[in-house]
Amino acid sequence: MPNTPTHNECVPDTDRERRIGFAEVIFCPGKTDEQLRHIATSLFAAHQNVLATRCTPEQFAVMRAVDERLQYNAAARLAFLHEDRRVLGRGTIAIVSAGSTDVPVAEEAAITAEVMGNAVKRYYDIGVAGIHRLMSRLPDLEDAEVVIAVAGMEGALPSVVGGLISRPVIAVPTSIGYGANLQGITALLAMLSSCAPGITVVNIDNGFGAGFAASRMNRNRSSNSPTLPNATTAP
């Protein structure tokens, strides 16, 4: 059903969860405090899990004043309400980062997937510069239903992972790197040009998009679902 406009600048889509399986996500940059309060109030009232991406501490404070259950991960710049803990995924989503500086983007992907009802396992700082670290985790990655590979610099990690396991791989280029990394464009083009077939690529630093895509791939149609622990607030 269409939403009835209640605000002259924004109309929260409270029907989205029914259509696609998850509520509207708040993209915080550029929104006024009034807009954030209005959208958050509508989504909280719908009794849905809530995600707010690229959220500053100040914006988090504005929305938390509406509902004190809202939590925040500073590294991922995510505010989230994780009340419905049902496991909706049929398997585990594995998140792999090339370096420790890629972790904020990896955490954005991980928390997004968790709040969307998925069991998530994290394998950070196992990039190709020390490939033995990655090789030791291959059995774990093969056990996952979907793998998200996050890398900056030259962006090689997803191609290597995609050539070693049979699971779907979602590649996330990050803006981490020196001059010729071009704020992530080099990693993005490397992933788009990968010789490992079947890799899915999202935009630069878009951990949220990767987590959302992985959740859709992993979605379990069964109504009999166990529950998850709370998504992490640790930076």
H-assigned helices in the chain: 16-20, 33-45, 57-64, 103-115, 131-135, 138-143, 157-162, 185-192, 207-218
The residue assigned the tokens 């895509």 is 213
Residue range 92-218 forms a domain whose CATH class is: alpha beta
Strand partners, 123: 96
Handedness of CA 219, 222, 226, 230 (dihedral sign): positive
- CA-nearest of 30, 70, 66, 35 to 50 is 70
The answer to whether residues 45 and 69 touch, using CB atoms and an 8 Å cutoff, is no
Q: Report the amino acid identity of residue 117.
A: G
Per-residue pLDDT tens, the chain, 235 aa: give them: 445 445 566 776 666 767 877 777 899 999 999 999 999 888 888 777 889 999 999 999 999 999 999 999 999 999 998 877 777 888 999 999 999 999 999 999 999 999 999 999 999 999 999 999 999 999 999 999 999 999 999 999 999 999 999 999 999 999 999 999 999 999 999 999 999 999 999 999 999 999 999 999 998 665 555 666 777 766 6
Length of the chain: 235
